[in-house]
């Protein structure tokens, strides 16, 4: 029988009523003839409670014990979901990561999936089990210890199962009903996309769209897993939500698929640093060692062998970044005239695979912002994305103006 993977996040299994609602959705797919693999998260709040216990016990915890503790939330949901399905006369069984087994690396708390042998589950499907409820986010290390997969681990688990079992589709049930052209809270004209390409979804995910984790999209792209994002709080048809797929499957699409934003950005500029090979490596190596997540990087034109180096970073990491660079200057590792920071900026991006074939998107974007009187501070581009740093106070205006200009409300 064809296999379907369905993943339910924490809010979708937050209590027994919601678990029942999710189980009904599973029942619908079983009735259509699918063997279903259900991936569940912990009931919302449970993982945070367990993490709190760990933090209170041991601030510098042993990641092996952390994994053994926090993975228990998913185990509870998996058992409850299996029982709920059984109550509906759907033959179901729960599986913890080690029982499948979902084999991972030994990198506790951020393990990567190595292999998912299909024998155990397939044997049970052969005996009449129709639903395998698998605890997400967890696996088994070569040493026989429980691992967890880090942020977005349950999405990644779902995609990995879909790949291993050649599933027809991987449905991610969440608290939004799909991927939007932009955040509906910012632009009321935001439109749900029926389809989006893996590449676009990847950019949107890394730009802060909370719908899917970057890692799960990467995995889906690599293994050509059809991903669907849809709401667990609405009645669903077969065409509900947003399908994330190969761009070949998207017949026609707008040049721009969506407008993304990131609110809490800061800009930092090092004035007059030596323009010589290795200087960027020194600066960003220093910031990386200090645990600063640098995003955009631009370097100005060189003059007299000196240049300015600008980057963007989260506002709450500015202090740490300044301290690290000033220390480096004191130690003689780096020479610069001045360190200027501006923590009142935001990032706005347009994303679309159409940009590859159609020129003028950047020019149009810059004109729209200029017409609205928005000054651009930094620009970076990729093949399918243009991001600008602007004053934070213009962020919503910019998102709305770009959404209008690229006519994203229209199909």
Does 54 engage in binding with its own copies (CB under 8 A)?
yes
Spatial distance between the Cα atoms of 8 and 40, rounded to a whole number of angstroms: 5
Does 57 engage in binding with its own copies (CB under 8 A)?
yes
Cα distances (Å, whole numbers) of residue 29 to 20, 33, 35, 87, 120: 15, 7, 8, 16, 22
Report the nearest approach of its own copies to the CB of residue 64 (Å): 7
Report the nearest approach of its own copies to the CB of residue 236 (Å): 23
Nearer to its own copies, 91 or 208 (CB): 91
Query: Can you tell me which of 21, 44, 51, 64 binds its own copies, judged by CB under 8 A?
Result: 64
Give the footprint of its own copies on residues 379-398 (CB under 8 A). Answer: none
Query: Can you tell me which of 51, 76, 250, 318 binds its own copies, judged by CB under 8 A?
Result: 76
Query: Can you tell me which of 14, 37, 39, 82 binds its own copies, judged by CB under 8 A?
Result: 82
User: Tokens standing for 231?
Assistant: 């709401």
Cα angle 200-204-205, degrees, rounded to a multiple of 5: 115
Query: Can you tell me which of 9, 27, 38, 98 binds its own copies, judged by CB under 8 A?
Result: 98
Query: Can you tell me which of 7, 93, 130, 215 binds its own copies, judged by CB under 8 A?
Result: 93
Query: Can you tell me which of 58, 288, 335, 358 binds its own copies, judged by CB under 8 A?
Result: 58
Does 62 engage in binding with its own copies (CB under 8 A)?
yes
Spatial distance between the Cα atoms of 210 and 233, rounded to a whole number of angstroms: 17
Q: What mask, x for binding its own copies by CB under 8 A, covers residues 136 to 175?
A: --------xxx-----------------------------
Q: How many binding residues for its own copies (CB under 8 A)?
A: 34
Query: Can you tell me which of 21, 44, 51, 86 binds its own copies, judged by CB under 8 A?
Result: 86
Cα distances (Å, whole numbers) of residue 376 to 309, 329, 351, 367: 16, 29, 17, 11
User: Tokens standing for 177?
Assistant: 């009903």
Q: What mask, x for binding its own copies by CB under 8 A, covers residues 262 to 291?
A: ------------------------------
Contact 25, 13 (CB under 8 A): no
User: Is the Cα torsion angle 265, 271, 277, 278 positive or negative in sign?
Assistant: negative
Cα angle 90-45-262, degrees, rounded to a multiple of 5: 110
Phi-psi region of 135 (alpha: psi -120 to 50; beta: other; left: phi over 0): beta
Report the nearest approach of its own copies to the CB of residue 276 (Å): 47
Spatial distance between the Cα atoms of 234 and 229, rounded to a whole number of angstroms: 13
Report the nearest approach of its own copies to the CB of residue 157 (Å): 17
Does 84 engage in binding with its own copies (CB under 8 A)?
yes
Contact 212, 227 (CB under 8 A): yes
Nearer to its own copies, 138 or 213 (CB): 138
User: Is the Cα torsion angle 182, 184, 187, 192 positive or negative in sign?
Assistant: positive
Q: Which residue has the tokens 């849809």?
A: 230
Which of the ranges 28-36, 80-88, 232-240, 344-352 carries the binding residues for its own copies, by CB under 8 A? 80-88
Contacting positions for its own copies (CB under 8 A): 16, 19, 50, 53-54, 56-58, 61-62, 64-66, 68-69, 72, 75-76, 78-80, 82-84, 86-87, 93-94, 96, 98-99, 144-146
């Amino acid at each position: 029988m064809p296999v379907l993977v369905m993943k339910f996040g924490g809010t979708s299994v937050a209590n027994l009523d919601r678990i029942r609602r999710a189980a009904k959705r599973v029942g619908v797919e079983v009735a259509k003839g699918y063997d279903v693999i259900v991936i569940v998260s912990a009931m919302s709040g449970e993982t945070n409670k367990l993490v709190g216990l760990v933090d209170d016990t041991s601030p510098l915890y042993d990641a092996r014990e952390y994994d053994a503790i926090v993975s228990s939330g998913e185990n509870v949901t998996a058992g409850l979901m299996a029982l709920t399905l059984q109550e509906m006369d759907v033959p179901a069984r729960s599986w913890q990561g080690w029982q499948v087994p979902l084999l991972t690396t030994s990198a506790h708390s951020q393990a990567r999936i190595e292999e998912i042998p299909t024998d155990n589950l397939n044997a049970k499907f052969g005996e009449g089990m129709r639903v395998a409820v698998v605890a997400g986010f967890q696996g088994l290390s070569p040493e026989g210890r429980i691992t967890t997969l880090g942020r977005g681990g349950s999405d990644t688990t779902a995609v990995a199962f879909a790949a291993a079992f050649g599933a027809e589709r991987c449905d991610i049930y969440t608290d939004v009903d799909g991927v939007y052209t932009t955040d509906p809270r910012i632009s009321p004209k935001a439109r749900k996309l029926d389809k989006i390409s893996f590449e676009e979804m990847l950019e949107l995910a890394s730009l802060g769209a909370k719908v899917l984790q970057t890692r799960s999209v990467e995995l889906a792209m690599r293994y050509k897993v059809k991903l669907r994002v849809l709401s667990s709080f609405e009645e669903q048809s077969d065409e509900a939500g947003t399908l994330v797929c190969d761009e070949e499957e998207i017949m026609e699409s707008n040049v721009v698929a969506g407008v993304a934003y990131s609110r809490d950005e800061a800009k930092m500029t090092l004035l007059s640093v030596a323009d010589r090979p290795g200087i960027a490596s020194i600066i960003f190596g220093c910031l990386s060692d200090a645990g600063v997540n640098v995003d955009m990087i631009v370097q100005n034109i060189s003059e007299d062998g000196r240049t300015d180096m600008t980057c963007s970073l989260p506002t709450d990491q500015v202090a740490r970044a300044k301290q690290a660079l000033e220390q480096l200057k004191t130690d003689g590792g780096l020479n610069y005239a001045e360190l200027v920071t501006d923590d009142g900026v935001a990032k706005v991006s347009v994303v679309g695979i159409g940009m590859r074939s159609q020129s003028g998107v950047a020019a149009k974007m810059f004109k729209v912002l200029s017409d609205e009187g928005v000054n651009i501070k930094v620009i970076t581009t990729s093949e399918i994305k243009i991001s600008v740093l602007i004053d934070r106070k213009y962020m919503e205006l910019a998102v709305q103006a770009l959404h209008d200009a690229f006519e994203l409300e229209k199909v």
